[in-house]
């Protein structure tokens, strides 16, 4: 199967606040729920935490509805989730309250992190980087550097530009190194799988205009039958 990455979808132009309010999608596609909202932490994050990749105070950049932040807060981490969508953060606060955990959620521009203090030991970016306009990514790396402490860890999960990625707005390793390398010492970039909110048949139906010939039967799914995307997992330390 050929690579149909959906490069024609301009995620950077999406109004995520409207998206979370249920008032629109992107590229003329309407969704019942955001494709990344699986209602639980990403399996790759769960494994990362188990492997000791999360330490100290945690910043969840682009936290959306908050499930990753809530998962970490349940395990005793002090977590701050930031997002540009007030509606998404409202959902995050509701979910945290329902789980009986405390996490701080605040509106912030990820490319400046204005108002966010310099106090974090770990940054988690779970599918934010590839949503940023290309011209804003270097500023994002600098902003993360500003709000972290010396020796801080950075974990970025973004759509990978691999064969048959079947994802919009894929990112190359060179893009990551160019935009983050000035402020972060990159230790590894590895390919992982990232769970979407839909099964392969639904993915094929929703994205049929961008993925003609998509073979749902050949899709890689997680333990719950959800379609998974190939992602880069960048691991870095604050320079």
Contact indicator for 105, 89 with CB cutoff of 8 Å: yes
- Tell me the two tokens of residue 228: 């998974």
Q: pTM (2 decimals)?
A: 0.91
Least confident stretch, 16-25, 154-163, 205-214:
205-214
Distance in angstroms (rounded) separating the CA atoms of residues 68 and 127: 12
Angstrom CA distances, 169 to 21, 40, 41, 133, 150, stand at: 23, 24, 22, 10, 31
| pLDDT for residue 3 is more than 50 | no
Q: Does residue 77 or residue 209 have the better pLDDT?
A: 77
Q: What is the pLDDT of residues 29-63, one digit of tens each?
A: 667 778 899 999 999 999 999 999 999 999 999 99
Residue 47: the pLDDT is 98
Angstrom CA distances, 104 to 81, 97, 121, stand at: 6, 11, 15
pLDDT bin (cut points 50, 70, 90) of residue 21 is confident
Residue 8: the pLDDT is 43
Superfamily name with CATH number, domain 11-238: Vaccinia Virus protein VP39 (3.40.50.150)
Q: Where are the domains of the chain?
A: 11-238
Distance in angstroms (rounded) separating the CA atoms of residues 127 and 174: 17
Residue 68: the pLDDT is 98
pLDDT bin (cut points 50, 70, 90) of residue 117 is very high
Contact indicator for 151, 184 with CB cutoff of 8 Å: no
> Partners of 81 in the beta sheet?
60, 105
Pairing of strands 148-159, 104-107: unpaired
| pLDDT for residue 143 is more than 70 | yes
Q: What are phi and psi for residue 18, nearest 5 degrees?
A: -65, -40
> Can you give the length of the chain in residues?
239
Residues 6+ apart with CB under 8 A from 176: 129, 156, 158, 186, 189, 232, 234
Contact indicator for 153, 237 with CB cutoff of 8 Å: yes
In the predicted model, what is the mean pLDDT of residues 8-33?
66
Residue 1: the pLDDT is 27
**Angle, to 10 degrees, between the axis of helix 86-99 and the axis of helix 67-74?**
30
Question: The tokens 């402490």 sit on which residue?
Answer: 149
Give the torsion sign (CA, 89, 196, 122, 17). negative
> Partners of 58 in the beta sheet?
79, 122
Pairing of strands 104-107, 79-83: parallel
């Amino acid at each position: 199967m050929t690579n149909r990455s959906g490069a024609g979808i301009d995620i950077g132009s999406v109004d995520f606040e409207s998206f979370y309010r249920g008032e629109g999608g992107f590229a003329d596609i309407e969704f019942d729920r955001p494709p990344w909202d699986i209602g639980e932490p990403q399996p790759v994050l769960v494994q990362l935490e188990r492997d000791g990749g999360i330490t100290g105070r945690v910043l969840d950049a682009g936290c959306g509805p908050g499930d990753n932040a809530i998962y970490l807060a349940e395990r005793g981490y002090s977590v701050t989730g930031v997002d540009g969508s007030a509606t998404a953060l409202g959902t995050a606060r509701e979910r945290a309250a329902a789980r009986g955990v405390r996490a701080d959620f605040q509106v912030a521009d990820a490319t400046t992190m204005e108002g966010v203090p310099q106090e974090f030991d770990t940054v988690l970016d779970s599918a934010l980087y590839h949503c940023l306009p290309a011209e804003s990514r270097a500023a994002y790396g600098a902003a993360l550097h500003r709000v972290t402490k010396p020796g801080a860890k950075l974990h970025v999960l973004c759509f990978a530009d691999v064969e048959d990625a079947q994802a919009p707005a894929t990112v190359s390793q060179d893009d990551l190194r160019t935009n983050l390398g000035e402020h972060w010492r990159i230790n590894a970039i590895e390919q992982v799988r990232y769970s979407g909110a839909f099964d392969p048949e639904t993915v094929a139906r929703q994205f049929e205009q961008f993925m003609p010939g998509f073979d749902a039967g050949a899709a890689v799914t997680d333990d719950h039958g959800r379609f998974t995307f190939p992602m880069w997992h960048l691991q870095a330390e604050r320079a």
